Structure 1
Amino acid sequence: MTAPVIVGVDGGASGEDALVLGRWAASVLGAPLVVAVVHPAPSALGSGRVDAEWVADRHRAAAAVLDGARALLTDATCEVEYRTVASTSAAHGLHDLAEELRAETIVVGSGRAGPRHRLFAGSTADRLLAGSVCPVAVAPAGMEKPPGALGRIGVAYVDTPDGRAALEAAVRLAARTGSPVRLYTVVADADATLPFLVGQDAEHAFLDTARETYEQALGRAAESVRGAPVDWEIRTGDVVDQLAELDDVDVLFCGSRGYGPARRVLLGGVSARLVRRARRPVVVVPRSG
């Protein structure tokens, strides 16, 4: 059975963003779509009657959320399954479901407090990104253009196991969409690299060496790809500023971090800030191996 794409919804506008992204991903990958809402599990403590009434109310609320999702997916071309999950938190419930189904990807929306057209990872996304066994995709609030409209897949690339895992995942998606892949690497400004005491000449020499190293790594990565056309771009400035402002990719893939448990997302400094600010959907990929 093809691994499913799981979309977590909560009845808010961010859930609608997640459904748009998840439906597109499932259709492109030829995967079933599982729409899940997590409700509180019964507590072991407290008044049995009150607790039972409260849990029943949460069941009804979860069913209403799924009814809303069904209404939004009436024209979906992929297989869709709807599930309610009892758990101690939304993130925990989605983690457990992803492990049970061996999910392809978990998709969530931005936090409700996030500004429109900017991705602001809410608490569910934050917790999901701390240890997921599969890629986690976060949809920005109020996407101006739906995924698939721009025809390019982006990768925040560095020549590390995380960067190569992100590239592999991006190429797999690009092969299904027919889209080209663009690799992005960011070189810091001269003022941000070395203390001024080393001198301007040393700064420029360092930056030139760094750029040359990045160019070689990007060239090797592009040549290694089969199944999709690849080009690359080096930008200058703050890495999060540069990547967050990208507005010409359907999705941007990035690695989680350079260390930590293999095959689990473990959010690093760049990806943690990027998912809060990106204009386009971001997919954080656990490193393999």
Structure 2
Amino acid sequence: MNRPVVVGVDGSPPSLVAAEQAAQAATLRSRPLHLVHGYLHPLGYGVPVNPYDLGVPAPSEDGRKMLDRTADELRDRWPGLVVEARQVAGGPGATLVEESHRAELVVVGSRGLGGFTGLLLGSVSAQVAGHAHCPVLVVRPGEPTARTGPVLVGVDGSESAELAVEHAADEAVRRGSPLVLAHVWSASGNRPAAEEFVEAEAAFRVAAVRLLAEAAQAVRARHPGLTVEERAVRAVEPAEALVAASAEASLVVVGSRGRGGFVGLLLGSVSQALAQHARCPVLVARPHAHTG
């Protein structure tokens, strides 16, 4: 099944940046690119008020022109890329979640129309990142497609992090970039005696090194030619340390839930912080839906 890369486009600058990043992702994966415009307001504005009128508004001419123009520009910049564009009668978040059932990757701009400065995830991108049935790439405004640096992924031993490492390794191979496996550890807490604190510090460091070595071994077995760096970081707050490290990365990959997460939560606390504040594009590693 030749799953496409799907990107939501609403004509806003962040969505057009996302479309450019989606074109790059589709080219790297040798997949078609689908531009989708969900033309109903997320809260349902545009749906007929009369309950006896079962129709929905027709696609707008302005929306069609915007999509056609965007598709033509992407074909010019990415020769050989197959681009399809269509309008869908639905809110943008719900539309992209539905499209994700059949997608290889969904790409969203960090803020569309009406977004707020300072937050990476707007309401639509948060909805898609939390509920999509495939991986989701969240792109910051003004993010260049030619950004350099390694692919960064956090390792904590959870099943979600293992999936994130797999996706991060695949992305690093596609991009020709090194992979950085990072584990943030801390022995902070109650310290009844200095000797016990020193012992705890040593134990945490040993555990971090072992965890990273195991993850790196698995990656190198799958990708023998990939450059893999193991980075144990001592910090009180894992999220803050990984956000700081993302400034030097071309991409940061997060799991949908980390250790201790609960089914039903959109993202774990560290993943949520990275998705909100990372200084590079964020790939939320979600498993693909099984389609018949």
Fold match (TM-score > 0.5):
yes
- Counterpart amino acid of 1:240? A
Rounded Cα–Cα distance in structure 1 between residues aligned with 2:173 and 2:67: 32
**1:241 Cα deviation (Å)?**
1.6
Q: Map of 1:151-170 to 2, 5 A cutoff?
A: 151-170=149-168
**1:260 Cα deviation (Å)?**
5.3
Rounded Cα–Cα distance in structure 2 between residues aligned with 1:231 and 1:277: 23
Q: Map of 1:248-263 to 2, 5 A cutoff?
A: 248-258=248-258, 259=261
**1:250 Cα deviation (Å)?**
1.6
Match of 2:179 among 178, 181, 205: 181
Q: Map of 1:6-85 to 2, 5 A cutoff?
A: 6-40=6-40, 43=47, 45-46=49-50, 55-56=57-58, 59-73=60-74, 74-77=76-79, 78-85=81-88
Q: Where in structure 2 are there 5+ consecutive unaligned residues? A: none
**1:282 Cα deviation (Å)?**
0.5
Rounded Cα–Cα distance in structure 2 between residues aligned with 1:13 and 1:172: 29
- Counterpart amino acid of 1:104? E
Q: Where in structure 1 are there 5+ consecutive unaligned residues? A: none
Q: Map of 1:136-285 to 2, 5 A cutoff?
A: 136-143=136-143, 146-188=144-186, 193-195=188-190, 198-225=192-219, 226-227=222-223, 228-237=226-235, 238-245=237-244, 246-258=246-258, 259=261, 266-285=266-285
2:100 counterpart residue number: 98
Alignment RMSD: 2.8
Rounded Cα–Cα distance in structure 2 between residues aligned with 1:119 and 1:27: 29
Rounded Cα–Cα distance in structure 1 between residues aligned with 2:106 and 2:166: 17
- Counterpart amino acid of 1:214? A
Rounded Cα–Cα distance in structure 2 between residues aligned with 1:236 and 1:62: 50
1:101-128 deviation digits (Å, cap 9, x = unpaired):
x21111101125454xx76100001111
Tell me the number of residue pairs that the alignment of Structure 1 and Structure 2 aligns.
Answer: 273
3-state SS of the aligned residue for 2:131?
A: coil
Does the aligned pair in 1 maintain the 2:135–2:287 contact within 8 Å? no
Does the aligned pair in 1 maintain the 2:64–2:86 contact within 8 Å? no
**1:265 Cα deviation (Å)?**
8.6
TM-score (norm 1): 0.84
Does the aligned pair in 2 maintain the 1:119–1:139 contact within 8 Å? no
**1:5 Cα deviation (Å)?**
0.9
TM-score (norm 2): 0.83
The alpha-carbon distance between structure 1 residues 119 and 207, as it changes in their structure 2 partners (threshold 3 A), is farther
Does the aligned pair in 2 maintain the 1:265–1:284 contact within 8 Å? no
Does the aligned pair in 1 maintain the 2:164–2:255 contact within 8 Å? yes
The alpha-carbon distance between structure 1 residues 243 and 64, as it changes in their structure 2 partners (threshold 3 A), is farther
- Counterpart amino acid of 2:71? R
Once the two structures are aligned, what percentage of the paired residues are identical? 27
Rounded Cα–Cα distance in structure 1 between residues aligned with 2:201 and 2:22: 40
Does the aligned pair in 1 maintain the 2:104–2:288 contact within 8 Å? no
Rounded Cα–Cα distance in structure 1 between residues aligned with 2:165 and 2:275: 18
Rounded Cα–Cα distance in structure 2 between residues aligned with 1:183 and 1:236: 14
- Counterpart amino acid of 2:189? L
Rounded Cα–Cα distance in structure 2 between residues aligned with 1:181 and 1:265: 28
